[in-house]
């Protein structure tokens, strides 16, 4: 485009000079000078850096090359640099791919589409981006494309190795970096945090002092994702999308940039030593191959950050031909009793997963509109954790009877397959295991990998290394063949694969509710749940298991849930999962049946979702519209500080495409409000709450006080 503009200006200029210049000799000299200038301009235009902008023009990504053929990129927003020149490329055992590149060609594309989710926080998602493909040829003959996609709220890129003579590469390092220009605060957890079950912490990243502040991150690095608060009040989110057959991305701070550290293959026993960046095998790549997408969300407000759908748009469309069998559901479970030590997983006097106890849970679920019940500890193997048998129940579990009862009640059984980290044996038997579950009407399985290093088909490996990633993908694909959905515990961090395989419905990867039952530190602080909606949950649905209604535990009296009862209700709206577990015991719910009514009513599949207000680590207020209805649910949670929030209902008059609703502002809603009482407090009066009903319209604003560690929940239905 720049070349043609320069060319047009040049020829206009030549014609003017022809008119002005009367002497032949004088014109000849002038024309020669102009043609020399034209040649210079031509080469200048051809050598300009390839660049692509977002559809609204606010964000631009520029591909750059150094004199030695090194490759990099930079990012501008509204003309201001937000990421300065940051390196791209790889180190491989075969050939370092950090410089020596020539641009073989470039190509640009535009894309706009709207696609419907099988389930999700939103029913319809718009994918609107511009794309730049930079085709490179390395001096060794290796060909590689860098594909950039720029959205209005961020950008992404991936490396693509097309089919070529070379068939394999052994990656020892990925050189991708993010050199932000602003001082920032980053929310993160260390990459070696077992199962990602850590407390997210905020650390200062100062651009001018990166090397000094590296010590603040200890000798470890950070797992992806990382949520960033910039000094100018804007936000960022660094993560990856479409992770498959490649190690998970981690990040570390060094030499003025946030850099990539791929989870390595293990070749020797784990030692408590400093992070090794070089000379580790990270990935074995067979060409042709495309890496996961590296993406950065950049928004001016927190609601815009939460609303970004870049990660899902970067994944491939649904690969399941008919996904109609995949149904979101709330469920209960024989689970919390084991964590508070009133039941056991293994068979014995306190065994939880017995036929009689499961029937009790299922009949309670039926009575209260809960769609499924999880049973942990129903199968042999819990007594020694050496080999779990996923097709042989304990003697006190009658699978045939419970399967028939499930059919008659219309309450599903959620299976549980804990591997103890022995992924290899589980993978060998997947077909037999899933045939057994399908035959017994079980179409949801909660998988588990409780071991810091899992045993894969390639031996002991990190669960988020390439071998672990391959295993999880194998599980998802095999489960789909048997119409089984997966709730994956001890997972690799989600990267949006639920778009391609919507039977991957939920994952753990979080310090969840169970820590409040037995953690030596007394339980998660109030702040913990106010960080997760802006960090871990931005990576995908989370099985946090909300809904505790009794906070005291006489068996482990030093540990408890740090919240009020209303905070537990708010979590059902603030924490997204299409498989949402109400985790407490039936008898505890009946101590507060009026509050339990909200859990009975709240759905877990949404038409639209909005962050109304919030601050990372302090509080959040979400509003979500039930899919296919005009019903709305609002939830709020706060940290250890009590606060009052204003909830304007103006969103009721806005459709998903931002057009005004046809219902009009006079539509009246019946609003049921579940809120903390005035004297509520998570430590002293966690059960103090009020429930009230009001009639309101979109013109109204509701003011709600949340107690320390408190929250609220609302149900809005059109008055008939």
- pLDDT tens string 430-458: 999 999 999 999 999 999 999 999 999 99
Q: Tell me whether strands 412-418 and 444-448 are parallel, antiparallel or unpaired.
A: parallel
In a domain, 300, yes or no: yes
Indicate if the pLDDT at residue 16 is higher than 50: no
Mean pLDDT of 495-516: 98
Residues 135 and 279 in one domain: yes
Residues 116 and 227 in one domain: yes
Name the pLDDT band for 254 (thresholds 50, 70, 90). Answer: confident
Mean pLDDT taken over the chain: 91
Q: ω before 80 within 30° of 0 (cis)?
A: no
pLDDT of the residue at 203: 83
pLDDT of the residue at 256: 75
pLDDT of the residue at 268: 60
- Cα–Cα distance, 446 to 514 (Å, whole number): 15
Indicate if the pLDDT at residue 663 is higher than 60: no
Name the pLDDT band for 253 (thresholds 50, 70, 90). Answer: confident
3-state helix, strand, coil in the chain (%, to 5): 25, 35, 40
Angle at the Cα of 216 (from 199 to 520), degrees rounded to 5? Answer: 30
What number of other Cβ atoms are within 10 A of residue 27's Cβ? 14
pLDDT of the residue at 237: 98
pLDDT of the residue at 698: 96
Q: What does the buried/exposed string (b/e) look like for 313-334 if buried means 16 or more CB atoms within 10 Å of the residue's CB?
A: bbbeebebeebeebbbbbbbbb
Q: Per residue in 77-97, pLDDT tens?
A: 999 999 999 999 999 999 999
What number of other Cβ atoms are within 10 A of residue 662's Cβ? 8
Residues 36 and 148 in one domain: no
Residues 66 and 42 in one domain: no
Scan for tokens 């709450």, then name that residue: 689
Residues 184 and 302 in one domain: yes
Among 243, 278, 313, the domain-final residue is 313
Q: Residue 636 in contact with residue 619, Cβ under 8 Å?
A: yes
Indicate if the pLDDT at residue 667 is higher than 70: yes
Of 348, 358, 437, 350, the closest CA to residue 395 belongs to 348
Q: Residue 484 in contact with residue 492, Cβ under 8 Å?
A: no
In a domain, 463, yes or no: no
**Lowest model confidence (mean pLDDT) among 22-31, 238-247, 427-436:** 22-31
Q: Residue 353 in contact with residue 377, Cβ under 8 Å?
A: yes
Of 462, 529, 463, 441, the closest CA to residue 199 belongs to 529
Q: Residue 472 in contact with residue 454, Cβ under 8 Å?
A: no
pLDDT of the residue at 1: 38
In a domain, 404, yes or no: no
Q: Per residue in 298-339, pLDDT tens?
A: 999 999 999 999 999 999 999 999 999 999 999 999 999 999
Its pTM stands at 0.91
pLDDT of the residue at 14: 42
Mean pLDDT of 571-590: 98
Indicate if the pLDDT at residue 18 is higher than 80: no
In a domain, 36, yes or no: yes
Category of 429 on φ-ψ map: left (φ > 0), alpha (ψ -120 to 50) or beta: alpha
Residues 34 and 10 in one domain: yes
Residues 35 and 68 in one domain: no
Residues 77 and 120 in one domain: yes
Indicate if the pLDDT at residue 352 is higher than 70: yes
In a domain, 155, yes or no: yes
- Cα–Cα distance, 549 to 689 (Å, whole number): 12
Indicate if the pLDDT at residue 218 is higher than 80: no
Scan for tokens 């059984």, then name that residue: 413
Distance from CA of residue 111 to its chain's centroid? 23
Residues 88 and 16 in one domain: no
Residue 550 CA: distances (Å) to CA of 37, 190, 352, 375: 81, 32, 19, 21
Name the pLDDT band for 269 (thresholds 50, 70, 90). Answer: low
- Cα–Cα distance, 182 to 263 (Å, whole number): 28
Q: Per residue in 104-155, pLDDT tens?
A: 999 999 999 999 999 999 999 999 999 999 999 999 999 999 999 999 999 9
Residues 73 and 113 in one domain: yes
Range of the domain at 185: 51-313
In a domain, 17, yes or no: yes
Position with higher pLDDT, 47 vs 171:
171
pLDDT of the residue at 206: 57
Phi, psi of 144 (to 5 degrees): -150, 135
pLDDT of the residue at 168: 97
- In 354-499, which residue ranges form alpha helices assigned H by DSSP? 355-367, 399-409, 423-428, 430-439, 466-481
3-state secondary structure of 50: coil
Indicate if the pLDDT at residue 216 is higher than 70: no
In a domain, 142, yes or no: yes
pLDDT of the residue at 220: 59
- Cα–Cα distance, 242 to 245 (Å, whole number): 10
What CATH number is given to the structural domain containing 296?
A: 2.70.98.10
Burial (Cβ within 10 Å: 0-12, 13-18, ≥19) of residue 679:
exposed
What number of other Cβ atoms are within 10 A of residue 152's Cβ? 18
Name the pLDDT band for 665 (thresholds 50, 70, 90). Answer: low
pLDDT of the residue at 221: 83
Name the pLDDT band for 519 (thresholds 50, 70, 90). Answer: very high
Q: How many helices (H) and strands (E) does the chain have?
A: 16, 38
Q: Element (H or E) spanning 304, and its range? A: helix 302-307
Indicate if the pLDDT at residue 15 is higher than 80: no
In a domain, 93, yes or no: yes
Residues 6+ apart with CB under 8 A from 715: 598, 601, 602, 631, 632, 633, 671, 672
Q: Per residue in 173-182, pLDDT tens?
A: 999 999 999 9
Mean pLDDT of 247-264: 92
Residues 38 and 72 in one domain: no
pLDDT of the residue at 655: 67
pLDDT of the residue at 12: 41
Residue 718 CA: distances (Å) to CA of 154, 246, 305, 666: 37, 49, 30, 11
Q: Per residue in 594-640, pLDDT tens?
A: 999 999 999 999 999 999 999 999 999 999 999 999 999 999 999 99
Residues 42 and 117 in one domain: no
3-state secondary structure of 452: coil
Q: How is residue 68 annotated by DSSP?
A: T
Indicate if the pLDDT at residue 297 is higher than 70: yes
- Cα–Cα distance, 604 to 119 (Å, whole number): 9
Among 313, 332, 363, the domain-final residue is 313
For the chain, the domain total comes to: 2
Tokens of 598: 């909200």
Name the pLDDT band for 44 (thresholds 50, 70, 90). Answer: very low
- Cα–Cα distance, 641 to 303 (Å, whole number): 21
Among 267, 288, 313, the domain-final residue is 313
């Amino acid at each position: 485009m720049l070349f043609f503009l320069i060319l047009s200006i040049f020829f206009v200029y030549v014609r003017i000079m022809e008119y002005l210049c009367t002497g032949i000799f004088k014109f000849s000299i002038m024309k020669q000078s102009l043609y020399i200038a034209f040649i210079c301009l031509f080469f200048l235009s051809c050598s300009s850096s390839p660049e692509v902008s977002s559809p609204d023009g606010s964000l631009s990504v520029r591909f750059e090359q150094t004199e030695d053929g090194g490759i990099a990129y930079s990012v501008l927003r509204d003309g201001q640099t937000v990421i300065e020149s940051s390196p791209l490329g790889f180190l491989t055992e075969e050939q370092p791919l950090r410089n020596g590149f020539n641009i073989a060609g470039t190509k640009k594309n535009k894309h706009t589409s709207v696609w419907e989710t099988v389930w999700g926080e939103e029913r319809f998602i718009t994918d609107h981006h511009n794309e730049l493909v930079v085709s490179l040829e390395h001096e060794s003959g290796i060909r590689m494309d860098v594909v950039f996609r720029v959205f209005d709220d961020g950008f992404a890129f991936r490396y693509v190795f097309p089919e070529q003579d070379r068939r394999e590469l052994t990656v020892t390092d990925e050189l991708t970096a993010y050199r932000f220009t602003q001082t920032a605060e980053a929310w993160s957890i260390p990459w070696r945090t077992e199962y990602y079950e850590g407390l997210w912490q905020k650390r200062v990243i100062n651009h001018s002092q990166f090397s000094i502040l590296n010590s603040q991150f200890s000798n470890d690095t950070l797992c992806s994702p990382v949520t960033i608060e910039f000094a100018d009040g804007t936000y960022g989110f660094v993560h990856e999308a479409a992770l498959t057959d490649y190690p998970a991305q981690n990040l570390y701070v060094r030499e003025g940039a946030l850099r990539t550290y791929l989870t390595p293959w293990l070749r020797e026993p784990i030692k408590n030593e400093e992070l090794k960046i070089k000379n580790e095998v990270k990935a074995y790549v067979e060409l042709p191959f495309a890496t996961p997408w590296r993406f950065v969300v950049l928004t001016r407000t927190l609601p815009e950050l939460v609303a970004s759908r870049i990660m899902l748009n970067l994944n491939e469309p649904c690969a399941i031909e008919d996904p109609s069998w995949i149904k979101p559901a709330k469920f209960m479970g024989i689970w919390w009793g084991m964590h508070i030590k009133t039941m056991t997983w293994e068979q014995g006097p306190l065994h939880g997963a017995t036929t009689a106890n499961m029937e009790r849970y299922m009949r309670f679920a039926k009575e209260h509109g809960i769609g499924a019940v999880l049973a942990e500890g129903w199968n042999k193997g819990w007594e020694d954790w050496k080999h779990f048998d996923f097709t042989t129940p304990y003697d006190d579990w009658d699978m045939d009877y419970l399967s028939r009862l499930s059919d008659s009640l219309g309450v599903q059984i959620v299976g549980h397959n804990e591997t103890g980290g022995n992924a290899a044996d589980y993978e060998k038997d997947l077909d037999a295991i899933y045939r057994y579950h399908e035959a017994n009407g079980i179409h949801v399985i909660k998988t588990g990998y409780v071991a810091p290093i899992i045993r894969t088909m390639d031996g002991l490996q990190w669960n988020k290394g390439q071998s672990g990633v391959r295993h999880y993908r194998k599980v998802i694909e095999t489960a789909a063949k048997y119409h089984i959905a997966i709730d994956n515990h001890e997972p690799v961090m989600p990267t949006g694969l639920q778009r391609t395989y919507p039977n991957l419905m939920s994952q753990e990867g979080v310090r969840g509710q169970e820590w409040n039952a037995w953690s030596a530190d007394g339980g998660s602080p109030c702040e913990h749940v106010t960080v997760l909606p802006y960090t871990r949950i931005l990576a995908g649905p989370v099985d946090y298991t909300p809904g505790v209604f009794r906070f005291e535990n006489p068996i482990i009296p030093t540990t408890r849930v740090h919240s009020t009862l209303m905070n537990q209700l708010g979590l059902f709206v603030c924490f997204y999962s299409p498989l949402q577990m109400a985790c407490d015991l039936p008898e505890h719910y009946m101590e507060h049946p009026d509050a339990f009514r909200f859990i009975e009513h709240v759905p877990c599949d949404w038409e639209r979702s909005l962050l109304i207000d919030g601050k990372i680590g302090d509080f959040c207020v979400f509003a979500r519209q039930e899919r296919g209805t005009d019903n709305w649910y609002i939830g709020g949670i706060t940290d250890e500080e009590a606060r009052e929030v204003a909830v304007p209902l103006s969103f009721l008059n806005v459709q998903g495409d931002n057009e005004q609703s046809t219902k009009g502002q006079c539509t009246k809603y019946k609003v049921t409000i579940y809120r903390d009482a005035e004297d509520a407090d998570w430590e002293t009066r966690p059960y103090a709450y009020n429930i009230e009903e009001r009639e309101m319209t979109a013109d109204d604003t509701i003011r709600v006080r949340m107690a320390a560690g408190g929250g609220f929940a609302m149900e809005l239905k059109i008055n008939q």
